[in-house]
């Protein structure tokens, strides 16, 4: 890979900021809410293709029937994911490493969209590293899409 660098067993793509790992999660950091809520989390490779299509979603906590899979169904009408507590996480594990260069967080219907989180990655599903940090994102509108580059 031209321009690639190796850091702790993770390939960092030169110029794209992409990171290759099989486990990804949003770790919510805004403790002012009792729950965090998003409509979608979509992970993109350096070419812009959605790589969050063949994995298993999970969460540290779930509110009622607001399951983690609802954050990966690629539809506004399919409902939102809502955590069961503050400082929770939403995880997506893929059976193989994928390179993620960008990601989108779609705002939830109504209230509760988070303002602070870390996008984290792991090679083993146990030890996590921060790929991207967001702090104090201003309130955003229902179903607004925010795209971030790693």
How far from 104 is each of 12, 62, 107, 130, 148, CA to CA, in Å? 20, 21, 10, 16, 6
* pLDDT at res. 24: 96
pLDDT at 2 over 70: no
- Contact between residue 79 and residue 66 where contact means Cβ atoms under 8 Å apart: yes
Q: What share of the chain is helix, strand, coil (3-state, %, to 5)?
A: 5, 45, 55
Q: What is the pTM of this model?
A: 0.81
Per the model's pLDDT, the better-predicted residue between 45 and 137 turns out to be: 45
User: Which ranges of the chain would DSSP assign to H, the alpha helix?
Assistant: none
Coil, strand or helix at 138 = coil
Per-residue tokens: 111: 């209230």
- 57-94 pLDDT per residue, tens: 888 877 777 777 777 777 765 566 766 566 788 899 99
Q: CA neighbours within 13 Å on the CB side: how many for 129?
A: 15
* pLDDT at res. 56: 92
* pLDDT at res. 107: 79
């Amino acid at each position: 890979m031209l321009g690639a660098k190796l850091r702790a067993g993770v390939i960092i793509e030169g110029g794209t900021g992409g990171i290759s790992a099989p486990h990804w999660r949003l770790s919510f950091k805004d403790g002012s809410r009792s729950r965090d809520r998003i409509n979608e989390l979509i992970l993109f490779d350096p070419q812009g293709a959605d790589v969050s299509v063949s994995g298993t979603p999970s969460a540290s906590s779930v509110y009622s029937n607001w399951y983690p899979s609802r954050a990966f169904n690629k539809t506004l009408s399919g409902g939102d994911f809502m955590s069961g507590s503050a400082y929770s996480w939403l995880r997506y594990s893929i059976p193989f490493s994928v390179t993620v260069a960008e990601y989108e967080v779609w705002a939830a219907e109504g209230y509760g969209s988070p303002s602070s989180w870390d996008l984290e990655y792991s090679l083993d599903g146990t030890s996590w590293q921060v790929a991207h940090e967001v702090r104090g994102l201003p309130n955003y509108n229902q179903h607004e899409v925010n795209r971030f580059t790693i």
